[in-house]
């Protein structure tokens, strides 16, 4: 995610394209074998779906931001699930999303790196450059980008990107936030949803069941 302002959708598309460009340049700078990775519209679709429907980490839960939330959207094509670092039985939560969201048009597994979420950590202004720099500083995400460590034998055939604007409270408008510290936005949820607390920083509209 990157910070919101008065810029329109075309600006965010440019940020996505820039992030992709910066990723390839970074791989080339480090002389990564096969540095070029094809841009995939299918993986762009997956990235967009997760950026627009993030999972907020709850206190005491092992499920992290790579998890996928339940949704009241009947058109949603993904299954809600928990992804927990170090728990291999939760890996399909991430791996299966390209197939779920594209209706099996994309056949491969999906692997995700993610930047954004906590307004206490990710503060404006955030750009494509800030996003890549954050990945570079992350011991968990950097190796994925440059096929290092446990990712050395992997060859990335395709990649997708999405950039989603934040609102003034530091959380994306489309995240259906309904409360939390410093929250100034709507506090009423749509029909069929209730406001559930996920820690001091945010509450989110979730299905009542």
Query: CA distances (Å), 170 to each of 37, 54, 109, 121, in order?
Result: 31, 14, 31, 10
DSSP calls for 65-115: TTSB---S-TT--SPPB---TT-GGGTHHHHTHHHHHHTTSS-S-------
Residue 100 tokens, joined:
């779920």
Element (H, E) at 206: strand 203-207
Residue 2 tokens, joined:
């990157």
Angle at 134 between CA 129 and CA 136, to 5 degrees: 95
Domain membership flag for residue 190: no
**Would you say how long the chain is, in residues?**
209
pLDDT digits (tens, 9 = 90+) for 173-194: 444 567 776 666 667 776 777 8
Note down the domain range covering 149.
9-165
Whether 166 shows a pLDDT value over 80: the answer reads no
Q: How many domains does the chain have?
A: 1
DSSP state of 2: B
Predicted confidence band of residue 167 (pLDDT cuts 50, 70, 90): very low
Q: Please say whether the beta carbons of 40 and 102 come within 8 A.
A: no
Domain membership flag for residue 18: yes
What is the reported pLDDT for 173? 40
Q: Please say whether the beta carbons of 165 and 4 come within 8 A.
A: yes
Domain membership flag for residue 1: no
Q: What is the Cα Rg of the chain in Å?
A: 17
DSSP state of 196: E
How many other CB atoms are found less than 10 A from the CB of residue 78? 20
What's the average model confidence in pLDDT over 19-33? 96
Of 167 and 141, the one with more pLDDT: 141
Least confident of 42-51, 59-68, 119-128: 119-128
Domain membership flag for residue 178: no
Domain membership flag for residue 146: yes
Burial category of 85 from C-beta neighbours within 10 Å (exposed 0-12, middle 13-18, buried 19 and up): exposed
What's the average model confidence in pLDDT over 63-68? 88
| pTM, full prediction | 0.73
Find all residues with CB under 8 Å of 69, minimum gap 6, and list them: 53, 54, 55, 56, 80, 204, 206
Domain membership flag for residue 65: yes
How many other CB atoms are found less than 10 A from the CB of residue 82? 16
Domain membership flag for residue 14: yes
Domain membership flag for residue 182: no
Residue 51 tokens, joined:
């950026």
């Amino acid at each position: 995610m990157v910070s919101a302002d008065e810029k329109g959708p075309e600006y965010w598309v440019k940020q996505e394209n820039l992030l992709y460009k910066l990723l390839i340049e970074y791989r080339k700078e480090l002389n990564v074998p096969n540095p070029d990775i094809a841009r995939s519209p299918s993986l762009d679709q997956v990235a967009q779906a997760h950026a627009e429907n993030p999972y907020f980490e709850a206190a005491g839960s092992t499920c992290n931001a790579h998890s996928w939330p339940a949704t009241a959207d009947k058109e949603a094509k993904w299954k809600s699930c928990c992804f927990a670092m170090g728990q291999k039985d939760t890996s399909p939560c991430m791996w299966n999303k390209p197939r779920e969201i594209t209706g099996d048009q994309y056949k491969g597994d999906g692997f995700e790196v993610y930047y954004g979420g906590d307004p206490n950590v990710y503060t404006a202004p955030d750009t494509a450059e800030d996003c890549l720099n954050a990945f570079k500083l992350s011991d968990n995400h950097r190796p994925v980008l440059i096929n290092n460590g446990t990712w050395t034998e992997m060859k990335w055939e395709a990649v997708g990107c999405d950039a989603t604007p934040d609102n003034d409270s530091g959380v994306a408008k489309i995240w259906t936030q309904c409360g939390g510290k410093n929250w100034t936005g709507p506090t009423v949820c749509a029909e069929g949803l209730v406001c559930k607390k996920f820690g001091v920083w945010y509450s989110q509209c979730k299905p009542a069941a």
